[in-house]
Structure 1
Amino acid sequence: MTSEQIEAYALHVRIEEITQKLRLDDVVPANQNRRSPSPEPQYDSSGRRSNTRHQRHHQRLEDERHSLIRTAMGTIPGYRPPPDYIPRHASGSMIIDKVYIPTKEFPGINFIGQLLGPRGRSLAEMNTQSGANIVIRGKGSVKEGRRRGRGVAVGRRDTGGSQDREPLHCLITADTHEKIKKAKALLQDTIEVIVTSPDHSNHRKSQQLRDLAVINGTFRDDENRGERHRDAWKREIGASIKCNTCGGGHVSRDCADRNIIPPWRQSKKPGPPADQLEIEYRQLLAEI
């Protein structure tokens, strides 16, 4: 490998490493002994501290990833940044908004599954339509034990961010207010459909299950149709009525042989008529 290829590979690996840390919210270093002195606390307009240790490390990784991605896009031909990366303005500022999910009011509804869709396609479509970046954050957005199972040392104190302690919500990030507004409208319409539509009439959920079956290769929409290239829209309808007397395709009470052979006396080889049996029986009695 040439020196340029080695540098491109190291750049790509570092970007993926930082992206994984940001995705799992594992931004605070594990070594607690090498802590630098904390700066003076700063607070936002709502009285919350805005420069906690977690926030400082998170912003540091975001800045480093942004710089590395800009370098990679300028040096690596055909490089594509991570899906959750959004280019910054020249000033470096982004617009952030949230849409909270009513899990307390409707605890029995799987909001995350219906918002994500099969393999995350529904959420990706909303990202494409709005032009913003939508991610699900808050309580319940990450499965229990998943954070510790991916690159986090066992026994280490959990240093989850403030977003994990908040109620379940959709975090929207974009560079314009128009994209934020469009993303919020899409999310609010989707949540309204999820809440107001029962399972049997929820067309969104039915379509998602259909798409998932197509992805898994288990979807069958052409059963009992014969050849696909001819008369594919026609269905064969078989008769489900069978006579208990003769086995024909009619009800038993309309059978012409109903008075001759009752159903409970059917046999593969029918016996003599009822009159002949009566005559033989009377002859036997006379001989006795």
Structure 2
Amino acid sequence: MLQENGLLQRMGTFQGSSMGWHGTPGVPSSHAVKKVIRLDVPVDKFPNYNFVGRLLGPRGNSLKRVEATTQCRVYIRGRGSVKDSVKEEKLRDKPGCEHLNEPLHVLVEAELPAEIINSRLDQAVAILEDLLKPVDESLDYYKKQQLKELAMINGTLREESPQMSPSMSPFNTTGMKRAKTGL
């Protein structure tokens, strides 16, 4: 959403401001355009695959990186987009939550100058489509990176050792040790 001349603009085309960063005079920008693209998540073909977790990553960092890289906003919507299924059921018919009656999908939204919006949306869609292709867990480099990042966030990542220790998974080729679970 953009506030321009005191009016809140939500959709459509509008003239960019002629003021630069922090109100300094700048070069007038071209028209900014808002576009939204919908990507369906193939949960019907892969009902047990964790698409939402793969898209979000640890603490939502993977999705935040996609947004920062492409300057697009990404929204996960539809059935299964709320972590707590009981809460999702209660929200289903509430105003603003109508999307919960639809199949799981991703909305990619951008509000950018007309000359760059399509390339940024295409970049975001390409990344997201790649993440929406199920990969066998033993071959999933992206998930291994996400797990490593989560271990770093949680402070449970241990230094790699040259020899195999009992705490390492034989299926983990990166040498990353499993986090202690207390079991």
Shorter-chain TM-score range: 0.5 to 0.7
The Cα of 1:148 is off from its aligned counterpart by: 9.3
| Structure 1 segments unaligned to the other structure (5+ residues) | 1-61, 72-84, 224-233, 237-288
Give the secondary structure class of the aligned counterpart of 2:39. strand
Residues 70 and 146 of structure 1: CA distance in aligned 2, closer, same or farther (over 3 Å): farther
Instruction: Kindly indicate whether structure 1 or structure 2 has the higher relative contact order, using CA contacts under 8 Å at least 6 residues apart.
Output: 2
Residues 134 and 148 of structure 1: CA distance in aligned 2, closer, same or farther (over 3 Å): same
Matched with 1:22 is none
Give the secondary structure class of the aligned counterpart of 1:94. strand
Matched with 2:118 is 177
Give the TM-score normalised by structure 1: 0.42
Alignment of 1:9-28 (within 5 A): none
The separation in 2 between residues aligned to 1:134 and 1:163, in whole angstroms, is 15
The separation in 2 between residues aligned to 1:189 and 1:148, in whole angstroms, is 30
The Cα of 1:99 is off from its aligned counterpart by: 0.9
1:188 has 2:124 as partner:
no
Give the TM-score normalised by structure 2: 0.63
Q: Deviations over 1:155-197 (max 9, x none)?
A: xx733543222211111111222221111111111222xx1x2
Question: Which amino acid letter does the alignment assign opposite residue 106 of structure 2?
Answer: C
| Structure 2 segments unaligned to the other structure (5+ residues) | 16-30, 112-116, 165-183
Matched with 2:99 is 163
Give the secondary structure class of the aligned counterpart of 1:219. coil
The separation in 2 between residues aligned to 1:181 and 1:165, in whole angstroms, is 27
Q: How many residues align?
A: 138
The separation in 1 between residues aligned to 2:47 and 2:72, in whole angstroms, is 28
Matched with 1:102 is 42
Matched with 1:20 is none
Give yes or no for contact 2:88–2:100 (8 Å, CA) kept in 1: no
- Which structure carries more helix by proportion? 1
- Which structure carries more strand by proportion? 2
Counterpart pick for 1:208 among 134, 140, 146: 146
Give the secondary structure class of the aligned counterpart of 2:48. coil
Alignment of 1:59-78 (within 5 A): 66-67=2-3
Question: Which amino acid letter does the alignment assign opposite residue 123 of structure 2?
Answer: K
Give the secondary structure class of the aligned counterpart of 2:55. helix
Question: Which amino acid letter does the alignment assign opposite residue 170 of structure 1?
Answer: V
Alignment of 1:1-288 (within 5 A): 66-67=2-3, 89-90=14-15, 94-142=34-82, 143-146=84-87, 158-175=94-111, 176-192=117-133, 195=134, 197-222=135-160
Residues 198 and 93 of structure 1: CA distance in aligned 2, closer, same or farther (over 3 Å): same
The separation in 2 between residues aligned to 1:161 and 1:138, in whole angstroms, is 9
Q: Deviations over 1:185-215 (max 9, x none)?
A: 11111222xx1x2111211111111110110
Matched with 1:3 is none
Residues 219 and 145 of structure 1: CA distance in aligned 2, closer, same or farther (over 3 Å): same
Bigger Cα Rg: 1
Percent identity among equivalent residues? 31
Query: RMSD of the alignment, in Å?
Result: 3.3
The separation in 2 between residues aligned to 1:206 and 1:235, in whole angstroms, is 20
